[in-house]
Structure 1
Amino acid sequence: MNCSSPDTSREIVLSNPSEVDRKSVTVDLAPADFSDLLSSSDSGQLVVEEIASGKLLVDQWIDIDGDEEMDQWIFQVDLQAGESKKYKVRLLQEGEEKPKAQHMTYSRFVPERTDDYTWENDRVAFRTYGPEAQRRIEASEYGGTLSSGMDAWLKRVEYPIINSWYAKNTAQEGAYHIDSGEGYDPYHVGSSRGIGGTGIWLEDSLYISKNFISYKKIAEGPIRTVFQLEYAPWQVGDTQVSETKLISLDLGSNLSHFVSEFTGLDQSLSPAIGISLHDKKGTVMTDPEAGIFRYWEAIDDSHLGLGIVMAPSSIASSKDHRVEYPDGSHILVIGEKNATKVEYYAGFGWDKSGQFNTTEDWDHYLKSFAQTLAKPLVVEVGK
């Protein structure tokens, strides 16, 4: 069979309409567009080839809803500002091997450390906390954490660290709070939102959930990890609100992608996303018109940049909200009232990772990220 014939291949043209270069940008294809190519083969036999170089690209298939039908087919490319490139989807040829990934994304539930859920890629790592950690706090038992905030693990290596850091911490409690060359966990979350935790804003107060009550791991692979967290209803004024949070992290990105869906909201309630201001000694930058919110703070003998990027059309207002009690001060990004779904990106950059050296470096990253969201890649699939 000739794999270049029209019935066994499809050309794709990718164009970058933004004014910024895009590196490791994820392309999301609809599997249905290639159903004819799959009629005689399984999805693992399809490949993406860069036409100019003949190079095969690493790809990943994802079943988001668990119905055993693939919903997303993704791969990554580099495109300069204004650049277009041609690619070809075809069947793997006899004797040909799919490319092996150099790096991976990863996430998992961690019962050996109470019940964290953690996720990482080649640049950053995060975690949040489950129901057993909440139970221990409420029962006044050792080892609990009461928080629905998002924690930042400061890694400075491209390989995975989640399993090794937890193993070291199991052998010697507190080991992952010490930097032995790969990075460490100095970030304090407490009851704050950490980096990108959510709550409900009513009048002049933020109402927050407790720990997640259940999780569902959806995907992990060379390009993207995806999972879902459920939160029990909590009281907001006279109303009970609950939340389902879909979280993903792509290779090469410092920002996790969050999609939170709320039930129980009424016209007086607004979803809010927060960045903890800790001791309030860092610097704040907000640009609601671009959808960028940043905090830059000292952390031990280094500096950490935190950021939220969100579509400006989804933002009702923002607040530099400072209070005197611990863990209550935040940059808050507030959505429209009764907005039952909010979508945003949140993450961090650590100067000791070698990725960012200054506040200006981190601001440039966030601004470039916001520009690429405003002007996404143009994907043209041939017939």
Structure 2
Amino acid sequence: MRFSNFFLLILCAGNLLTANAQTTTTLQISNPSSLTYFDKVIEVPWKTINKIDTAKLIVIESDTKMQIPFQLEKKGTSNVVNLLIQISLNSYQNKNILITTGQREKFASKTYGRYVPERLDDFAWENDKIAYRMYGKALETTPKDNAYGMDVWVKRTDRLILNERYKRGDYHIDHGDGMDYYHVGFTLGAGNMMPYLNDSIYYSKNYVEYKVLDNGPLRTSFQLFYNEWQVGDQKVKVTKTFSLDAGDWLNKIEVNYSGSNVKNLPVVAGIIGRPEPGVKYFNEQNGIMSYWEPQHGPDGVTALSCLFPSAVQKMAEIKGQLLTFAKTDEQGAITYYSGATWNRQSTFTNNNAWVKYLEDFKESLVAKIVIQKISQ
């Protein structure tokens, strides 16, 4: 009996060691392009990773043995969908990472968003580069302040500042970390999207409900829901899903219309123009529209863009707005990117540098990072 128990103990110990070894996943992350990525957020499908205790999960870069930032993305569910990691890659570089368990280091959160009831239902979000907000239904009760488009809050700090600015209340003044001087009004602002029929933009009212899907440290994503409104001869509703990664200036925006006939619905994404001369860039074939605004006195220059994954029908300036014309798919959905930067943030100090970033961003959508599991 003692002899049998001894071998049973050995067998259990062996099984335990094997189980521990199987919790570690080694991945090769490959950059197939000539682009260089600095602190890029990469999605690793959770199904790729061996079963592991998420409370003890750490991610290690194999060469340096250093931990790297990560996030468990759940997309508004109770289950992990993706492991988000943030790494740098040179052109054509391969890099191995280990997903294992251990003592986790602390990393600063680089994205954040929230509903702001104290400011008439704003929904505001930011990363370490820039900040944005969309307007809620309560703002419609103050017609002189109401607006329909996306707003930009420029930053020159990598800290998260939304709560500080709302608490101060005077975010139209630069206290050393940036400000809000962007004017939206009854326009698409900094890249909002609306249906376009009969030579007219059919504006919805402001959002009425929201849902936070994920909130940092590397990606903040949320949904905004809008009441139905009349678009031509039908009533439509829309849900917009926004996603902003650490280190990026552009939001990924997934727009889903519902109605009796939203297949191939004509839409426009747009940027408000200014009376003074700025630099406008239209590249329909590459799906990139950008606008380097005129100097806004001592506040500097805001640059903006709407970017589409593929070629678009048309781009034009109409009635004071730069517009990109597109259509939804057969399900009434369309995905695009929009965002902004500030020359006083110092990353992009001229239009050429901003357009180069947009062209590289577009290329990154095509030459995607390759993820390969190389051990079990």
TM over 0.5: yes
Of 77, 87, 98, which aligns to 1:88? 98
Q: 1:5–1:213: structure 2 CA closer, same or farther, 3 Å change rule?
A: closer
* CA distances 1:303-362 after superposition (whole Å, capped 9, x unpaired): 12101221115x3x1221322xxxx52232423575611111111111011111111111
Quick check: 2:192–2:269 contact (8 Å CA) kept in 1? yes
**Alignment match, 2:310:** 312
SS of residue in 1 equivalent to 2:293: strand
Give how far 1:4 is off: 11
Work out which of the two has the higher radius of gyration on C-alpha atoms and give 1 or 2.
2
- Give the 5 Å matches for 1:1-383: 6-34=21-49, 36-38=50-52, 41=53, 43-66=54-77, 68-92=78-102, 97-137=103-143, 145-169=145-169, 175-264=170-259, 265-266=261-262, 269-279=265-275, 281-298=277-294, 299-301=296-298, 302-312=300-310, 315=312, 317-323=313-319, 328-336=320-328, 340-382=332-374, 383=376
Quick check: 1:3–1:90 contact (8 Å CA) kept in 2? no
Letter aligned with residue 322 of structure 2: H
Quick check: 1:151–1:189 contact (8 Å CA) kept in 2? yes
**Counterpart Cα distance in 2 of 1:135 and 1:303:** 31
SS of residue in 1 equivalent to 2:60: strand
TM-score (norm. length: structure 2): 0.89
Runs (5+) with no aligned partner, structure 1: 138-143, 170-174
**Counterpart Cα distance in 1 of 2:297 and 2:323:** 21
Give how far 1:155 is off: 1.0
Quick check: 1:150–1:189 contact (8 Å CA) kept in 2? yes
**Counterpart Cα distance in 2 of 1:281 and 1:106:** 34
Quick check: 2:284–2:315 contact (8 Å CA) kept in 1? no
Give how far 1:91 is off: 2.1
Quick check: 1:148–1:212 contact (8 Å CA) kept in 2? no
TM-score (norm. length: structure 1): 0.88
SS of residue in 2 equivalent to 1:368: helix
**Counterpart Cα distance in 2 of 1:179 and 1:235:** 40
**Counterpart Cα distance in 2 of 1:155 and 1:200:** 31
Letter aligned with residue 37 of structure 1: K
Q: 1:244–1:119: structure 2 CA closer, same or farther, 3 Å change rule?
A: same
**Counterpart Cα distance in 1 of 2:96 and 2:292:** 40
* CA distances 1:136-184 after superposition (whole Å, capped 9, x unpaired): 43xxxxxx64333100001111111111111111xxxxx2111121111
Give how far 1:103 is off: 4.2
RMSD (Å) for aligned C-alpha atoms: 2.0
Runs (5+) with no aligned partner, structure 2: 1-15
Quick check: 2:305–2:338 contact (8 Å CA) kept in 1? yes
SS of residue in 2 equivalent to 1:134: helix
Q: 1:146–1:3: structure 2 CA closer, same or farther, 3 Å change rule?
A: farther
SS of residue in 2 equivalent to 1:212: coil
**Counterpart Cα distance in 2 of 1:167 and 1:370:** 37
**Alignment match, 2:11:** none
**Counterpart Cα distance in 2 of 1:286 and 1:98:** 46
**Counterpart Cα distance in 2 of 1:19 and 1:151:** 33
* CA distances 1:194-237 after superposition (whole Å, capped 9, x unpaired): 11201001132211111001111122122011111001111111
**Counterpart Cα distance in 2 of 1:207 and 1:20:** 39
Which stretches of structure 1, 4 residues or more, deviate above 6 A after TM superposition? none
Letter aligned with residue 373 of structure 1: L
Letter aligned with residue 125 of structure 1: A
* CA distances 1:9-62 after superposition (whole Å, capped 9, x unpaired): 12101111122101222121222222x422xx3x12222211111111111112
Which shifted more, 225-234 or 284-293? 284-293
**Counterpart Cα distance in 2 of 1:81 and 1:228:** 34
Give how far 1:88 is off: 1.4
**Percent of matched pairs sharing the same residue:** 29
How many residue pairs align between the two structures? 357
**Counterpart Cα distance in 1 of 2:84 and 2:18:** 21
